Amino acid sequence: MEPQTALLTDWYQLTMMSSYYELGMEDTAVFEFGFRRLPSERNFLIACGLEQVLDYLEHVHFTESEIEWLAATQRFSNAVLDRLRKFRFTGQVYAMPEGTLCFADEPLLRVTASLPEAQFVESRLVNLLHYQTLIASKAARCRLAAGSKALGDFGMRRAHGAEAAVYAARAAYIAGFDSTSNVEAARQFGIPLSGTMGHSFIEAHISEIDALRAFVRTQVVDVTLLVDTYDIQGGTERVVQLARESTNSPIKIAAVRIDSGNLGEEAHKVRRILDRGGCADINVFVSGGIDEYQIAALLRSGAPIDAFGVGTPLTTSSDVAALDCAYKLQQYAGLPRKKNSLWKSTWPGRRQVHRGYGDDGRIAMDVVSCADEVVEGKQLLSPVMQNGQRSFHSPPLAQVRHHCHEEIVTLPIALCSLDSGPRSPVKISHGLHQLVGELDAVKH
Provide the terminal-to-terminal Cα distance of the chain, rounded to the nearest Å: 42
When asked if residue 81 is in the footprint of a copy of itself (CB under 8 A), the reply is no
| Distance in Å, CB of 413 to a copy of itself, minimum | 30
Contact 165, 129 (CB under 8 A): no
Find the part of the chain contacting a copy of itself (CB under 8 A) among 202-210, 239-247, 300-308, 355-363: 202-210
Q: For 227-321, where are the E strands, in sequence order?
A: 253-258, 283-286, 307-310
Find the part of the chain contacting a copy of itself (CB under 8 A) among 140-148, 215-223, 293-301, 389-397: 215-223
Q: Which residue number, 348 or 412, has a Cβ lying nearer to a copy of itself? A: 348
Reduced to 3 states (helix: H, G, I; strand: E, B; else coil), residue 76 is: coil
Can you tell me the distance from the alpha carbon of 174 to that of 46, in angstroms, rounded to the nearest whole number? Answer: 9
Can you tell me the distance from the alpha carbon of 82 to that of 32, in angstroms, rounded to the nearest whole number? Answer: 28
Binding to a copy of itself by CB under 8 A, coded x per residue (else -) over 92-121, reads -----------------------x---x--
Q: Which of 92, 100, 133, 196 binds a copy of itself (CB under 8 A)?
A: 196
When asked if residue 15 is in the footprint of a copy of itself (CB under 8 A), the reply is yes
Burial zone of 205 (CB within 10 Å; 0-12 exposed, 13-18 middle, 19+ buried): middle
| Distance in Å, CB of 417 to a copy of itself, minimum | 23
| Distance in Å, CB of 383 to a copy of itself, minimum | 23
Can you tell me the distance from the alpha carbon of 208 to that of 212, in angstroms, rounded to the nearest whole number? Answer: 6
Find the part of the chain contacting a copy of itself (CB under 8 A) among 207-215, 278-286, 378-386, 392-400: 207-215
When asked if residue 36 is in the footprint of a copy of itself (CB under 8 A), the reply is no
When asked if residue 364 is in the footprint of a copy of itself (CB under 8 A), the reply is no
Q: Which residues contact 313 (CB under 8 A, 6 or more apart)?
A: 138, 155, 289, 290, 291, 292, 319
| Distance in Å, CB of 358 to a copy of itself, minimum | 35
Can you tell me the distance from the alpha carbon of 381 to that of 368, in angstroms, rounded to the nearest whole number? Answer: 11
With residue 386 as reference, give the H or E element that holds it: strand 382-386
When asked if residue 183 is in the footprint of a copy of itself (CB under 8 A), the reply is yes
Partners of residue 429 on adjacent β-strands: none
When asked if residue 130 is in the footprint of a copy of itself (CB under 8 A), the reply is yes
Q: Which residue number, 60 or 375, has a Cβ lying nearer to a copy of itself? A: 60
When asked if residue 186 is in the footprint of a copy of itself (CB under 8 A), the reply is yes
When asked if residue 251 is in the footprint of a copy of itself (CB under 8 A), the reply is no
* Footprint on residues 259-318 left by a copy of itself (CB under 8 A): 260-261, 312, 316-318
Compute the radius of gyration of the chain from its Cα atoms: 26
* Footprint on residues 385-404 left by a copy of itself (CB under 8 A): none
* Footprint on residues 56-75 left by a copy of itself (CB under 8 A): 66, 69, 73-75
* Footprint on residues 219-238 left by a copy of itself (CB under 8 A): 219-221, 228-232, 234
| Distance in Å, CB of 166 to a copy of itself, minimum | 7
Q: Which residues contact 25 (CB under 8 A, 6 or more apart)?
A: 19, 115, 116
Distance from the Cα of residue 61 to its chain's centroid:
26
When asked if residue 214 is in the footprint of a copy of itself (CB under 8 A), the reply is yes
Q: Which residue number, 201 or 293, has a Cβ lying nearer to a copy of itself? A: 201
Q: Which of 90, 123, 246, 394 binds a copy of itself (CB under 8 A)?
A: 123
When asked if residue 414 is in the footprint of a copy of itself (CB under 8 A), the reply is no
Q: Which of 64, 341, 359, 393 binds a copy of itself (CB under 8 A)?
A: 341
Q: Which residues contact 310 (CB under 8 A, 6 or more apart)?
A: 142, 151, 152, 153, 154, 155, 172, 177, 287, 290, 291, 295
| Distance in Å, CB of 43 to a copy of itself, minimum | 20
Partners of residue 111 on adjacent β-strands: 31, 93
| Distance in Å, CB of 370 to a copy of itself, minimum | 18
Find the part of the chain contacting a copy of itself (CB under 8 A) among 15-23, 40-48, 240-248, 421-429: 15-23
CA distances from residue 419 to 42, 176, 254 in whole angstroms, order as listed: 8, 20, 34
What DSSP designation does 282 have?
S
Count of CA atoms in the C-beta half-sphere (13 A) of 343 = 0
Can you tell me the distance from the alpha carbon of 413 to that of 341, in angstroms, rounded to the nearest whole number? Answer: 35
| Distance in Å, CB of 138 to a copy of itself, minimum | 11
When asked if residue 325 is in the footprint of a copy of itself (CB under 8 A), the reply is yes
* Footprint on residues 136-165 left by a copy of itself (CB under 8 A): 154, 156-165
Q: Which residues contact 96 (CB under 8 A, 6 or more apart)?
A: 47, 50, 102, 108, 109, 353, 380, 381
Q: Which residue number, 25 or 416, has a Cβ lying nearer to a copy of itself? A: 25
